[in-house]
């Protein structure tokens, strides 16, 4: 059985074609060794451990390192715990047909279940910009929860499910120093990331008072997703999306979803100089849908254009090669008093690329005027900062910027001139 999990469902919402390439060793995946994504995941592990402390009597359904992952066993362990009238389960497992998901925190009270998805993301209650709402920043998280709710209700229809997100609350501040360091990131013998809890310090915390996490009820938004009012794949309402994605994944079938060039540009299933031994899902999509050959990939295209914004027009007309894109497709030129405007720069790049012109385009007079306007000595100050969900110090909000290092470099014009004079003697 090929199970569509919540992470694979999210991947299919990003682009259904990705489901064919995921978890196949022969295809490149730029996210596998991305250090930035690994750092984000590490912060997520810390938040998850803190969230579990809100429920001190919770039962964890563990994964045993080195053992084969058994879907049925996880479900059986969950069902056994759910026989209790009231119980909290971490990583509860549910299965329906070829759909499978595990819930970060499940709180059962009689026939009612609170589904709690933990995210290392912050919110601010009632704030128009920072509160949870359906939009680019939140929609995939919300569909993730909707998927989990769907699988629970289909597999265990006797339960009524209320969906929540548990998030870093920007209205809260840490009440103790060193909250972040109470959850130390470590690697085990299999190089898997885990958390080492400093229990001597954690035991002094009170919950939820000393936590910076809060629950956010998202029932209303989830209802909008379930009815199809909110959707990511424009052609499919929520349940239809689950059905077509699960079927395609079960059959290990290339979906053939229409290309979206803005998303294609960021596709992780592409090769680079470090993955020359892998196949490219990105290239296969273009070969299957646009009949591209190796020669087509060598021709200049809009992916190379700096800060290009008019992807919807290119999608509509199925144009991506620079030789096919008219100058007007870049938009109106807004002249600037000094230097390039965005569209001027793009058009310059287009025509130089098509003409194999590698000469530099420099505004010499403007550059000279800019340099002569500088007042010496020049000071270069570089700050190194950290923004973590769990604060380092008491009184800090989640994701408060903490400066831990800085450098100050001074450039003296006279020193440079004297150095040059001495070298020439």
Report yes or no on 366 lying in a domain: no
Question: Own/partner pairs for 239-248, CB < 8 Å, 24+ apart?
Answer: 239/150, 241/12, 241/13, 242/4, 242/9, 242/99, 242/147, 242/150, 244/16, 245/4, 245/8, 245/9, 245/12, 245/13, 245/16, 245/19, 246/4, 246/97, 246/98, 246/99, 248/12, 248/16, 248/19, 248/20
Contact (Cβ atoms closer than 8 angstroms) between residue 404 and residue 386: yes
Work out how many domains the chain is built from and give that number: 3
Q: In which residue are the tokens 């629950």 written?
A: 215
**Residue 69 and residue 146 in one domain:** yes
Q: Please tell me the distance from the alpha carbon of residue 146 to that of residue 166, in angstroms, as a whole number.
A: 15
My answer on whether 266 and 188 are in the same domain is no
d(C-alpha 4, C-alpha 95), whole Å:
10
> Which secondary-structure segment (H or E) carries 387?
strand 378-387
Asked if 234 and 145 sit in the same domain, the reply is yes
Q: Which of 60, 56, 46, 57 is nearest to 168 (CA)?
A: 46
**Same domain membership, residue 324 and residue 220:** no
Shared domain check, 60 and 196: yes
Same-domain pairing of 168 and 227: yes
pLDDT score of 420 = 45
Below-50 pLDDT ranges, the chain: 420-421, 424-425
Return mean pLDDT, the chain: 92
Q: Are residues 236 and 293 in the same domain?
A: no
Render pLDDT for 176-211 as a digit per residue (tens, 0 to 9). Answer: 999 999 999 887 666 667 788 999 999 999 999 999
Task: Look up the pTM and report it.
Answer: 0.91
Residue 1 covered by a domain: no
How many whole angstroms separate alpha carbon 30 and alpha carbon 373? 43
**What CATH number did the domain enclosing 242 receive?**
3.90.320
Domain contains 368: no
**Residue labelled with tokens 């600037």:** 336
Q: Which of 120, 137, 124 is nearest to 46 (CA)?
A: 120
pLDDT of residue 86: 98
Q: Count H helices, E strands: the chain?
A: 15, 10
């Amino acid at each position: 059985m090929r199970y569509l999990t919540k992470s694979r469902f999210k991947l299919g919402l990003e682009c259904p074609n990705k489901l064919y390439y995921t978890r196949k060793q022969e295809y490149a995946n730029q996210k596998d060794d991305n250090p930035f994504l690994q750092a984000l995941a590490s912060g997520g592990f810390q938040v998850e451990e803190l969230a579990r402390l809100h429920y001190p009597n919770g039962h964890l359904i563990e994964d045993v390192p080195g053992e084969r992952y058994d879907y049925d066993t996880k479900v059986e362990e969950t069902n056994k715990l759910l026989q209790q009238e009231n119980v909290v389960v971490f990583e509860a497992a549910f299965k329906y047909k070829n759909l499978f998901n595990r819930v970060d925190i499940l709180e059962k009270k009689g026939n009612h279940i609170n589904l709690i998805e933990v995210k290392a993301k912050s919110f601010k209650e009632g704030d128009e910009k920072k509160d949870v709402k359906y939009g680019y920043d939140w929609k995939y998280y919300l569909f993730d929860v909707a998927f989990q709710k769907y699988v629970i209700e289909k597999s265990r229809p006797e339960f009524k499910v209320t969906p929540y997100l548990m998030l870093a609350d920007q209205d809260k501040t840490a009440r103790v120093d060193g909250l972040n360091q109470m959850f130390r990131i470590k690697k085990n013998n299999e190089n898997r990331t885990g958390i080492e809890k400093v229990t001597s310090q954690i035991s002094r915390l009170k919950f939820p008072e000393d936590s910076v996490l809060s629950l956010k009820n998202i029932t209303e938004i989830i209802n909008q997703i379930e009815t199809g009012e909110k959707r990511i794949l424009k052609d499919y309402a929520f349940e239809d999306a689950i059905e077509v994605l699960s079927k395609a994944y079960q059959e290990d079938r290339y979906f053939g979803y229409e290309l979206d060039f803005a998303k294609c540009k960021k596709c992780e299933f592409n090769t680079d100089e470090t993955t020359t031994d892998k196949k490219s899902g990105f290239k296969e999509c273009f070969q299957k849908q646009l009949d591209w050959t190796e020669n087509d990939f060598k021709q200049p295209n809009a992916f190379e254009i700096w800060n290009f914004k008019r992807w919807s027009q290119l999608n509509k007309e199925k144009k991506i090669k620079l030789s096919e894109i008219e100058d007007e497709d870049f938009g109106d030129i807004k002249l600037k008093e000094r230097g390039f405007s965005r569209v001027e720069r793009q058009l310059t790049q287009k025509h130089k690329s098509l003409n194999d012109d590698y000469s530099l385009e420099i505004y010499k007079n403007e550059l000279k005027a800019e340099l002569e306007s500088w007042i010496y000595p020049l000071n270069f100050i570089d700050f190194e900062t950290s923004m973590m969900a769990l604060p380092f110090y008491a009184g800090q909000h989640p994701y408060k910027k903490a400066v831990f290092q800085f450098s100050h470099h001074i450039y003296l014009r006279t020193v440079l001139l004297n150095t040059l004079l001495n070298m020439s003697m």
